[in-house]
Amino acid sequence: MAHEFGEVILGDQPLTPVEVERQIRETTERLEQGVEVVRNRNRMLKEAERLLKREKALVYIQHRSAGMSIKDSDAQTVVDTDPARAERDDAEVAYWYARDLLVQLQNKLSALQTQAAGLRAAYPMAGRGL
């Protein structure tokens, strides 16, 4: 399964020292990309919230100008602005998904760094030549 930041985070295969280092580099790159994705998703969420507030205000004023009661105007405004609310909700879900994925990538990087430290301790002379 592919994610916007790259491939699936979890795996069950033992990693070689080379694979650990490769995954550290890959995860670091995904984190760098993820920051930009989260920032863009946050912008999209803010824009969707702004548009929803504006639409609600315009629709409410329109209903009140048509002579509807406050209670009826409120109820009809909720109904009339449902598509904008759905867009805002979708933007919010996308934002929180990106944030959660970024946290998972940070956790994966930490786990890989711990694994790399363990491998360095287990094989202190590896890669040092004679």
Angle among Cα 53, 35, 101 to the nearest 5 degrees reads: 85
pTM here is 0.77
Angle among Cα 77, 46, 98 to the nearest 5 degrees reads: 120
Q: List alpha helices for 1-130, DSSP H.
A: 17-65, 70-80, 82-122
32-49 pLDDT, tens digit each: 999 999 999 999 999 999
Domains in the chain with CATH codes: 17-120 (1.10.287)
pLDDT of residue 124: 73
Q: Read off the pLDDT of each residue in 67-87 and give the average, rounded to a whole number.
A: 97
- From the list 16, 8, 10, the residue with the least C-alpha distance to 116 is 16
pLDDT band at 86 (very low <50, low <70, confident <90, very high): very high
> Can you read off the two tokens belonging to residue 129?
């030549």
DSSP state of 9: S
